[in-house]
Amino acid sequence: MSFSSDVSDFFKKNGSDFGSSSAEANHIITSKYSVSPPRGAEEIFSGDLKPGKIYLFDYVTDTKLGGKRNYINLMPIAVYSEYKKDTSGEIIDFFIDLTVTPPKNRMEILSEIYEKNSSIIASNKKDPNKTQEPLDLRYSTIKGYLQKSGFNISYTGFKRKGLRNIRLIEYPDWSILPYVTTSKIIGDSVSEIYRKYQSKLNSGTII
């Protein structure tokens, strides 16, 4: 079954209503992936970030709002891409931040990633407890097929030292992610972030 079919099934199970689907998706995220037990997740974060996996984490930073920084996401749900070191040697982990990506574009991004890497994902899903094969989600790779979705608008670097309470979102729950609305953002409202995302995408002012 394709990713889009899984998303459609979740939507239908919730009365084909976005509000109901969103409420159920938020419930799953805040209960199954809560920091404190009990939790229902079978596949637990191993301690190593793997490209192509989706994580929920708390972010601690001393970065301030101002200049071009209009918001800071303190609880991202994000697809891990790769890491790099800055000039001081500090590790920066790069993610596609789904929380600040509008639902329609979020759906496009996840669908493309899923379909392009379907064989690896299928193999990983068979046994969550085995060593999971990473996906090639380096920026240079995904730029070719995710450009139209505007993924690079929400492609964000987070200082590794600021990542806390990292939780791994299991594959079966990818289908709820287009409907998740829970967030913890300071600065711009989510609706304003979405508006700016769409404006950049429409105007072609993305790198």
Q: What is the pTM of this model?
A: 0.93
pLDDT tens digits, one per residue of 154-173: 999 999 999 999 999 999 99
Locate the domains of the chain by residue range. 3-203
Query: Which residues of the chain are under the pLDDT cut of 50?
Result: 38
Please state, in angstroms and rounded to a whole number, the distance separating the CA atoms of residues 182 and 51: 24
* Residue showing tokens 């990818």: 174
**Encoded tokens for 153:** 């608008």
pLDDT at 205: 62
* DSSP letter assigned to residue 159: E
pLDDT at 179: 97
pLDDT of residue 206: 58
169 - beta bridge partners?
54
What's 89's DSSP letter? S
Burial category of 198 from C-beta neighbours within 10 Å (exposed 0-12, middle 13-18, buried 19 and up): middle
- pLDDT at res. 27: 95
Q: With contact defined as beta carbons under 8 Å apart, do 123 and 117 qualify?
A: no
